[in-house]
Chains A and B, each alone.
Chain A
Amino acid sequence: MEYKLQTKDKTIAVDLALDPENRMTATLEKIGHDPIKYDPILYGRVSDHQVQLVVNGQQINAWIENQPDGKTILLNGEHFFIQDTDKLAQTQPRKKGPGQGTQEVTPPMPAVVIHVPVQPGDVVNKGEVVVVVSAMKMETSLTAPHGGTITRVGVAEGDKVMPGDILVDIEKTDTSET
């Protein structure tokens, strides 16, 4: 099992073998350094925010907070923000639950963005094209569900997008009708 993890300035490749009863062995490799093996590692969850590992007979507590794009980890008085490189590569723009997409700019199927003709600050009318996506070799134009001002463009050409992703935010102006 592999993980590719990163901090602000380091990448760490982790190669794991899981054993039964909450044990594992792991080899960690940082770029430019020799790999280090940890064997065995015992582990368990203490509470929602605390896990414990036993490495080389030493018990280590870590306090963790999950964030959308990574985890904050407090360990031995140090503060880390670690991200899963693979998960990051798939990062989507803002998501909304199903059934809320009718007034939002969202693709009808998994697609790739091929053109974004607007930018924040632009004023658009209802029906104007704000994002062009391509899916199954077909181009689809996504239009503004109401008139207003573009406040956020969450995608760029080449991004993979899914139904439910909000690609562009449009703030309704008082004078425009839905």
Chain B
Amino acid sequence: MFNKILIANRGEIAVRVIQTCRDMGIKTVAVYSDVDGKALHVLEADEAVCIGPSDPAQSYLNMDKIIRAARDTQAQAIHPGYGFLSENPEFVEKCDQAGIVFIGPTARAIREMGDKITSRRIMVDAGVPVTPGLNFSSHSLEELLDKADEVGYPVLIKATAGGGGKGIRIVHAREQLAQACESAAREAKNAFGNGAVYLEKYFIRARHIEFQVLADTFGKTIHLLERECSIQRRHQKIIEETPSPAMTQPLREEMGKAAVAAARAAGYVNAGTVEFLLDDQNHFYFLEMNTRLQVEHPITEMTTGIDLVRQQIEIAAGAPLTLDQADITARGHSIECRIYAEDPENDFFPSPGKITFFKEPTGPGIRNDAGVYSGCTVPMEYDPILSKLVVHAETRDQAIAKMIKALTAYQILGIRTPIDFLADVLASVPFGKGDVFTNFIETHFSNWKPAQKNLDLACLAFIVDELSQKGKNTPARDENRPDLGLFQTLGNWKL
């Protein structure tokens, strides 16, 4: 087993990896940029190395600096978290060359699954259903038009090298195809340096369902059931849950088998996720494979009782998987809400700044993976995720109620968050019914405004705060004049 691991990441995921390392008695090394000197992941690690300026290219994405930090601290392995270098095959190769274990899959698996066209081809060969569409990327408008006619509108134009919602266009009619291709290609070229696009059938009412997989270096591959990730905003997930309300046991078994087949076809090792689209006819199609630990992994941990980071570390250290497929069972229901530093009243514009007050919800079945604390400053240079709030309860209804209570008990002052927006989504009738599809937010919450049901009480609270300011504009109560009541000692109000 490793005695020291370097975490090549920041924020909540770095903190979460450090927590499992601690559980296992493994020493941890944090890396940080100039603006993260007092970040939580830095404070929590055993050692910390500053790796450069805030610009990710010069710090969190800088492979040489990170490997040097691992060498200098004698870290034997690197956990890449998610984002940053977690799916960079070159980084995996550099780790291999440096004799440092990369906690994740091989460079080849990352490369092949990272290319949408290659991964689709591998799946087709392995008998895993894929979304109808072009099985190769194209620059030819003719080819794309023909395929679109064949598959039927609406279609999705996607960048081959895309991700994070970029380089995607929905096309509803033949006349719009040319323009959509041009614009998606341009966006992809700018973001990823590669303007190739491909085409897929677009399912208007589809569910995004993914399966967690684990594979060891001895050829054993298992799945750890599904996660439902349909609630998205601008193609970014905001609420995830398990089990999926759409799942039946037969469908789960079928999709689980397909996920394992997909991972095997990819030659996969360590933790990964196979994403599927489930249409309204209950047909499922391979979407893509994420060759890293996912943001929403905690909900799987809550229902299965398995520490996925621990499994990752053990697999990377060469241990065989002690779990068999038959051992994987889930209990109850788990929901996660991603809490970002964003303003839901201002089109979710980022809201960085200093957190002046931070009080997390706690209690049975409540877990908050946070990367911030009271008094810290949320920098604007990075993804503004503050925490993942996760609940677990016996039934879906109970989990929804618990999440709403947890959100209500989560107090963050100093920056704006969508906590109130999320509570409204969770409390909504369609969510309660399990009617969750990828267009949920657009359909039900596109013009959300806070209801302000408790405005009267908030006004009273405002006044109470004014009346009870400690020492501010209020002369100190004279102990020798107990006859002077509140009236006489108040300042700053008018009669």
Contacts and interface: CB of A to CB of B under 8 A. Distances in A.
Interface string B473-495: 00000000000011100000111
Nearest to A74: B411
Contacts of A28: 456, 459-460
Nearest to A6: B459
Given A51-B468, A63-B359, A79 B462 contact: no
A171 interface: no
A127 interface: no
A77 B408 contact: yes
B462 A73 contact: yes
Contact of B413 (A18, A51, A74): A74
B357 A43 contact: no
A124 B225 CA distance: 69
A16 B467 CA distance: 12
B459 A5 contact: yes
Contacts, number: 126
A41 interface: yes
Given A55-B460, A64-B461, A78 B452 contact: yes
- The size bracket of the interface on B is 35 or more
A135 interface: no
Interface string B449-479: 0111111111111111111101000000000
Interface in A20-74: 20, 22, 26, 28, 30, 36, 38, 41, 43-45, 48-49, 51, 53, 55, 60, 62-66, 71-74
A77 B404 contact: yes
A12 to B, nearest CB: 5
A77 B423 contact: yes
Given A62-B461, A77-B408, A38 B451 contact: no
Contact of A44 (B404, B413, B423, B468): B468
Contacts of A73: 458, 461-462, 465
A60 B456 CA distance: 12
A30 B404 CA distance: 28
List of 7 A-B pairs having minimum Cβ-Cβ separation, nearest first: A77-B408, A62-B461, A65-B413, A45-B468, A80-B458, A43-B464, A63-B411
26 contacts: A3-B463, A3-B493, A5-B459, A10-B452, A14-B459, A14-B463, A18-B486, A18-B487, A20-B485, A28-B460, A30-B455, A45-B464, A45-B470, A53-B464, A55-B457, A62-B464, A63-B413, A65-B357, A74-B411, A74-B412, A76-B457, A77-B420, A79-B416, A80-B452, A82-B462, A84-B466
Interface of A: 1-3, 5, 7, 10, 12, 14, 16, 18, 20, 22, 26, 28, 30, 36, 38, 41, 43-45, 48-49, 51, 53, 55, 60, 62-66, 71-80, 82, 84, 86
